[in-house]
Amino acid sequence: MCYNKSMKKDDQIQKNISSNITYYRLKNKLTQVELAEKLNYSDKTISKWERAEGMPSIVVLNELASFFNITLNDLVNKRKVKPKSTPKQQKPLLYSLLVWLVVIIAFSLLMFLKVNYPLWHLFILGASITGLIFFLFNLVWDQKLISLISFGIFIFPLSVLCHLTFKTFPFVFYITGTAIYLFFSYLILYIKKR
């Protein structure tokens, strides 16, 4: 039983080392041949290490750690992957926050001025504009499912807002909104394939 645990731990360490050698080699923009030349080993040896078919000695591990400018622990332990949001993902969030900031300021200002209008309509408009922002960004990034959801978040609150504002023929706005949603869904899903 103790022997099996030790074997599993050794296998995990070997997988960590092979994964880390590959990771740090690629991070340094080196091929297996280039790394092999720098360490005076064959590219086949580097390949074996990266496939976890062999394991470098502690001396070689220390050389690798020095070469990659990392600690021996970094090479042996499992890498902690930090989920990072890319600037690409942050743009629609920042624009949406700006929209909501404007909505809240407009709501507060109009409430202070005691304007005779149902001010909560501004929040419906804010939701609709947020949906539009996410729709446009995800359409450009070719994220079809998120584009469809975002377009729904844009078009249906807009339909509700039109219904509440104009109060005539309420279902016309919902039917029109649904037709527009279905049309754009078709465009997003089928036309983009060509």
pLDDT level of residue 82 (50, 70, 90 thresholds): low
Q: How far is CA 93 from CA 36, 66, 96, 107, in A?
A: 45, 41, 5, 21
Name the domain boundary from 24, 41, 76: 76
Question: How many independent structural domains does the chain possess?
Answer: 2
- Average pLDDT of the chain? 85
pLDDT level of residue 107 (50, 70, 90 thresholds): very high
**Residues in CB range of 160: below 8 A, 6 or more apart:** 124, 173
Secondary structure (H, E, C), the chain: CHHHHHHHHHHHHHHHHHHHHHHHHHHCCCCHHHHHHHHCCCHHHHHHHHCCCCCCCHHHHHHHHHHHCCCHHHHHCCCCCCCCCCHHHHHHHHHHHHHHHHHHHHHHHHHHCCCCCCCCHHHHHHHHHHHHHHHHHHHHCCCHHHHHHHHHHHHHHHHHHHHHHHCCCHHHHHHHHHHHHHHHHHHHHHHCCC
* CATH classification at residue 8: 1.10.260.40
For 20-76, how does the pLDDT look when each residue is reduced to its tens digit (9 = 90+)? 899 999 988 889 899 999 889 898 999 998 898 888 888 888 898 898 899 888 888
pTM of the predicted model, to two decimals? 0.54
CA distance 178 to 57: 66
Residues 124 and 28 in one domain: no
Residues 106 and 177 in one domain: yes
Residues 60 and 111 in one domain: no
pLDDT value of position 126: 94
Residues 120 and 187 in one domain: yes
In a domain, 81, yes or no: no
Residues 57 and 123 in one domain: no
Residues 71 and 96 in one domain: no
Inter-residue contact 23 to 15 (CB < 8 Å): no
In a domain, 143, yes or no: yes
Residues 59 and 13 in one domain: yes
Residues 102 and 166 in one domain: yes
Name the domain boundary from 51, 76, 101: 76
Which residue range(s) make up the domain with 169? 87-191
pLDDT level of residue 105 (50, 70, 90 thresholds): very high
pLDDT level of residue 141 (50, 70, 90 thresholds): confident
In a domain, 82, yes or no: no
